[in-house]
Structure 1
């Protein structure tokens, strides 16, 4: 058998509507088959906590074999997976079309789907995944919410840790009282008719984080695109469903995909590209939804029309050119987020920041360790810090003038790791790279 494949990785549609997908005996056999391959390879030892846990349990078992592992042992591996996709995209030599046909993240997803169907998804996980409900409530009383969730509010954070298991040390995002869709709905007809990209249209998918929490990257994106003659509108039909995917609630994700794709379908027909502010959401729309609903025409249309924000700016730069950018003699440390890497489009943040004359960007390709909502839990926070420490060191190497990450969760988490490590240079903010383009333009 050949060790690896020179062919590009491919992914199979997820057969979540077939009863065989939920067959627990078949799932157990597939877990052991895949874990045995991983045990013999071990190239993913430094990615996330799933693989060290797996390898340690096998090494410490009586016969040092996967067959020694119990169902509870294997669940520990599943629970440590953050669905970052890095093992599939950058490490594993046995992904399809290799005959081993190994897709580790989607196998973890299958295990969670079985648990979810049996009602075993933890209550707190299920409630946290109800993003739109939670954000509507929190935004209505944003002042009180933000006060209660601050790290230095020992009483409320202690209660939250006791009741919900959310680590009192973990950074939690603040909420805005007015959503981005209401505050900055777009620019209508492109205001800058002299700009080279005049005639281009972008429907900005605000994403839950960009709509309800940190709106800085959304405002920066609107400023940059408007300055370059792009007609914009801001849309937010609902959350992309990534938190529910993490829970294995595939039917809920499918329902979300149907509704969001139907919302954007007529907008795409009007000539708009769809630009996601958050890499995780772009990944869902481009790749995960088409694997969950492979026969849905609107989902296919949306996947083809969707661009990551950095990807979109680079595209219009290559197609039309950009308005001149003021030189910025600055070093920039870029964290290459996992869900940006998983989109298989290359380091677009790096390409975008190279458009700033005299800027000196460097890139760090390591996981931040946050993993969606995984890293905020008391059982995971210390591991999230441990996994993210090499990324924090790499981004801060040589004390750059600015540090950025396309992932809005990774940025604050890396900043917190730097603070916990008493690093000499901790930035005031690790925001989206589009913010530096906006800054160079004078916004």
Structure 2
């Protein structure tokens, strides 16, 4: 029988050594018999270590007489979890964190590692002021270590956004976002869903940017609820919901979503169309299309047709036929670091150039699908001008028949001064959403 800290080190090991996403690795251990309090502790330990891994590793390098590469992988995870508890969790006494770490070292190490883990953690606890940084970061390298973001990304953001903006963005990336759910208006309205979910003692807040959004402060087991299984809501960040607000799909429209999985934006558009018209939802893999169609079945949506298709190849059969073409492009995902902190360690600077080329090809193909007067929507869940505004501007130079179109949001919401120019950029530390970019273009 695993205890909570043991599950945490196993999940962290699978994330680092097997390249699994943290949410998927946690899901695999979800069947273990744990109390709600232990499940919360598990998530905090896993995400806390991932969010602060570079910072924690810097402490290990300073406190240990063994080089990082020489530390056994499981012992390294034990140290990380122990240090996180000592330095970041006031409610757990340091002696308890150390004792539990030593017990795990007995199980996963040998006699020498038991004393090593005990000695390193006790040294860090005794000399906290030495090991835990208190000075305000003054340069790129200090920002990178303090907020555990790779140097190439911090450097990129400083160049694009400035030092102070980047510092606040990094801090926000290490906070925990609220779960956002989207009301399925084909089955229920927001107020009635609030009433139904309120019976589960859930703490709920109405989203301010999308009229279909509800934010959940304590979402444990919400997908086990009758309301979820019957398709009254689905999980989607409010930033993604804005794609539908900006696209303004209408009944009887023909919509093409060229990179659709898992189908959140396509199903939201279907809601706004009152399930009348047609949406073609495409993706590269059969399994992803199957997931889209399963979501459609649960939500009671009939107008979506799933197709396995490569967005990088032009489909002549759809030339000049589409009212709205959505390009939710494959991207670096740097806007999702609050939800998927492991992305920080999976992306390399050289990946970005390849992604920009892929996005450019998909955008060029998608332009040919849009009818005269139709809309082309380009969105990403990243914060990188090369993948966002620069990508759109380069596309417009190559395709002068398209133009950016001013964005008007419900209730005259103004998220950014750039709305009047046809695009918006969303940031965790400013808007409280995932980092996101949306551009609205119209074919003349």
TM-score of the alignment, normalized to the shorter chain, above 0.5: no
Q: Which has the higher strand share?
A: 2
Structure ranking higher on relative contact order (CA contacts 8 Å, 6+ apart): 1
TM-score by length of 1: 0.31
Q: Which has the larger radius of gyration?
A: 2
